[in-house]
Structure 1
Amino acid sequence: MKRIIQENANSLSFAVAGLAFLVAAGTAAAQANCEPVSTFKTIEPGVLKIAAPDMPPFFTYKDGVMGGFEGLFFNRFAKDNCLKPEVTVLPLGGIVESVRNGLADVGGAGLNPTPERGKVVGLTHPIYYSPAVFVGKNPSGDLDSYDGKTLGTVTGFNFNKELETWGKANLKVYDSADAAFADVKSGRLPVMLLGGLNAYYRISLTPDSGLSAVEAKPHPIVQSFNTKGRTNVVHTKDNPELTQALNTAIATMRKDGTLAKILEETKLPADVLIPASEAGEN
């Protein structure tokens, strides 16, 4: 009986191995026959190097699978252009430098297309709104109300330098939104600044925390508060073909409803999607 079982097991092993070979061969053939939507250079031929923070609902990476808004966008973009995604998870503050130094082709997530960033990395058309908000227990949206108090923020936000210029609060800069949010939730930090979509998402996961978020009011020094934050995809500079490819992908996915579906899948409100006319696509 053992011999029969072993023979059957061996037969099954050969069958599985043969199937795996056929799947691999089929995948390779499909990749070889793939016709990219756009043509552009990447750091490594055939690979799209992605740098992003683990920051839901914008980007997640687990067991080799990308999730979140930008994660799903990058997955579609890589597939449409016959590229293998290769992900490096970094703190938000390290994303721009990673792209700037040629370690990643593209970066996310939730990054605003500021003139300062445009000097060192490529910028795309904006995709969705994510205004700055104060998070705490009954927070104020007026920055001046935090004069002389401790105010938390996260490295990588474009308003950090402006907050330093304002200089009236004890600014505590965290390496990650997770750490800052944990301190606000526990009461170790009275209030923090965060991108609105990220803040509302985190608060929704802890409905009994007593935390709320309020949009930052316009301010004469912190100019970032005067316009609603917009996000884009940062990418390697002086690579106009990549810029055009990303803009084409954003416009296509906006038009065919893919971006709206991604918002729904990542539980983000549909009204944060920037209209094509406002995004500069018309």
Structure 2
Amino acid sequence: MKRLLAMTAILAFAHTASAFAADCSNAVKTVEQGKLTVAAYDYPPFSVTSGTGAAGIDFDIVKRAAQENCLEAVSLTLDPAATIQAVVSGKADVAIGSWNRTEKRAKAVSMSAPTYLDPMGIFSKEGYDSVDSFIGKNVGTVQGYLWVSELQKLLGPSLKLYPTPVALAQDLEAGRIDVAADGYNSGVYLQKTADAYKGIKIVLSKPDERVQASVQPAQAGVIYTKDNESLGAALDKSIKAQHADGSIVKALEAAGFDKKVADVGEPRMVK
């Protein structure tokens, strides 16, 4: 009886393995056969690099896509700017690190289906949650952000621009400004892990047509080799499944984010 059970188990395992192999497609084109080379830089919790390789929300997303296509995900740790160049030059298949889907970026590389949002957050001691709360206040934000030009039109001289989020946070904590518009994701994570933004409440902005980033936040995605259709299809299929089974929202909530960050909507590119 035991021998029969053992033989049954072996056959079942063999059937599962062969079925997995049958489902796996070798049609995905990569830099190195059998591997998915992932260019990564340190931007936790999305991309976490160490001497042993990469981890984080983005890496888990591409690792699952790799496994579903019989590929081994291997990481290549680089500086932020070098990660995209690694894909352009053919040294890596994908680049991770919460890269926004933009029209300019899509001219040099391809972008996967959206993984999560990169929304505008409102930072204040009072817990403000709308653009209306900016009116009559001293407001700060960081140069180069998507919402800067619209806030300048709305607030005029009441808006102060900062070179970095650190400088912005320092003035906010010190009370030199009343409220700030900054990246929700990075703010929440730094507050949770690095004791940043002491005494500050960070909330998602309510939609306001005057500031389009509050209505349609930028979508993040995985960068991959330009026009590699087989890789793009594999990534998009996996990302769709990871949204459907709740994997992505669970990872985001575990990092401390509002589950709305996973509600990406239809794919779009930032101009």
The answer to whether TM tops 0.5 is: yes
Instruction: State the SS of the aligned residue for 2:218.
Output: coil
Q: Determine which of 272, 276, 280 is the counterpart of 2:261.
A: 272
Distance, in Å, in 2 between the alignment partners of 1:181 and 1:47 is 42
Distance, in Å, in 1 between the alignment partners of 2:152 and 2:84 is 22
Q: CA 1:214–1:265 in 2, change beyond 3 Å: closer, same or farther?
A: closer
2:75 corresponds to which residue? 86
1:250 CA drift (Å)? 0.8
1:55-204 matches, within 5 Å, as 55-81=43-69, 82-91=71-80, 95-135=83-123, 137-138=125-126, 142=131, 151-152=141-142, 159=146, 162=149, 171-174=161-164, 179=166, 183=170, 187=174, 193-204=181-192
Q: Determine which of 196, 207, 216 is the counterpart of 1:227.
A: 216
Q: CA 1:242–1:214 in 2, change beyond 3 Å: closer, same or farther?
A: same
1:261 CA drift (Å)? 4.0
Distance, in Å, in 1 between the alignment partners of 2:66 and 2:122 is 35
Distance, in Å, in 1 between the alignment partners of 2:176 and 2:226 is 38
1:3 corresponds to which residue? none
Question: Cα deviation per residue 1:42-83 (whole Å; 9 max; x = unaligned)?
Answer: 233333232334222222123324332112112222333322
Q: Determine which of 212, 234, 249 is the counterpart of 2:201.
A: 212
Q: What TM-score do you get using the length of structure 2 for normalisation?
A: 0.66
In structure 1, the gaps of 5 or more residues are 1-29
Q: Determine which of 224, 232, 235 is the counterpart of 1:243.
A: 232
Q: Is the 8 A contact 2:252 2:259 kept in 1?
A: yes
In structure 2, the gaps of 5 or more residues are 1-16
2:10 corresponds to which residue? none
Distance, in Å, in 1 between the alignment partners of 2:64 and 2:252 is 14
Percentage identity across paired residues of the two chains:
24
Q: Does 1:54 align with 2:42?
A: yes
Instruction: State the SS of the aligned residue for 1:200.
Output: helix
Q: Is the 8 A contact 1:180 1:192 kept in 2?
A: no
Q: Which amino acid aligns with 1:44?
A: E
Q: What TM-score do you get using the length of structure 1 for normalisation?
A: 0.64
**Over aligned residues, Cα RMSD in angstroms?**
4.1
Instruction: State the SS of the aligned residue for 2:113.
Output: coil
Q: Is the 8 A contact 1:72 1:262 kept in 2?
A: no
1:245 CA drift (Å)? 0.8
1:128 CA drift (Å)? 2.1
Number of equivalences: 239
